[in-house]
C-alpha cells in the first residue's frame, strides 16, 4: 500500500484549484465549538483522530481519512487523546 505523501497531496490539491496548503497540529482533547471558515477545505488526516460535527451528523476521522468542507459551513471539532496532524488545502 502506498501512503499519501505531503508532496502528492499538495500537487493534487493545487491541480484541483486549492491555493494554500498547510500542516495543522492539533492538541490532545482540544474542542473547537461551532464555527465557520471563509475558504473551502480539502484535508487529509495524517496522525491521530477527531470528530467533525456538521449539524446533527458526527464524522469520526482517523489517520488516512480525507474530507472536504465548503466555506461558511458551520461545524465543530473535537480532537482525540493524541491530538491530530492534518494536511489542509484551502481555496481562498
Q: What is the mean pLDDT of residues 25-54?
A: 98
Looking at the structure of the chain, the number of domains it has is 1
Q: What is the mean pLDDT of residues 8-29?
A: 98
64: containing domain: 18-91
Q: List pLDDT tens digits, range 40-58.
A: 999 999 999 999 999 999 9
Does 13 fall in a domain?
Answer: no
Does 68 fall in a domain?
Answer: yes
For 79, the grid coordinates are 480532537
Whole-angstrom distance, CA of residue 48 vs CA of residue 84? 4
Q: Can you spell out the DSSP letters for 39-74?
A: SEEEEEEEEEEEEEEETTEEEEEETT-EEEE-TT--
Does 7 fall in a domain?
Answer: no
Does 6 fall in a domain?
Answer: no
Does 61 fall in a domain?
Answer: yes
Does 12 fall in a domain?
Answer: no
Q: Percent of the chain scored above 70 by pLDDT? A: 98
The CATH number of the domain holding residue 55 is 2.60.120.10
Amino acid at each position: 500500500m502506498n501512503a499519501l505523501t505531503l508532496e502528492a497531496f499538495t500537487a493534487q490539491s493545487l491541480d484541483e484549484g486549492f491555493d494554500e496548503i498547510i500542516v495543522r497540529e492539533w492538541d490532545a482533547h482540544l474542542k473547537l465549538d461551532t464555527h465557520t471558515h471563509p475558504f473551502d477545505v480539502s484535508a487529509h488526516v495524517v496522525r491521530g483522530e477527531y470528530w467533525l460535527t456538521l449539524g446533527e451528523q458526527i464524522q469520526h476521522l482517523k489517520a488516512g481519512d480525507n474530507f472536504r468542507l465548503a466555506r461558511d459551513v458551520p461545524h465543530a471539532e473535537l480532537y482525540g487523546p493524541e491530538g491530530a496532524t492534518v494536511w489542509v488545502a484551502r481555496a481562498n
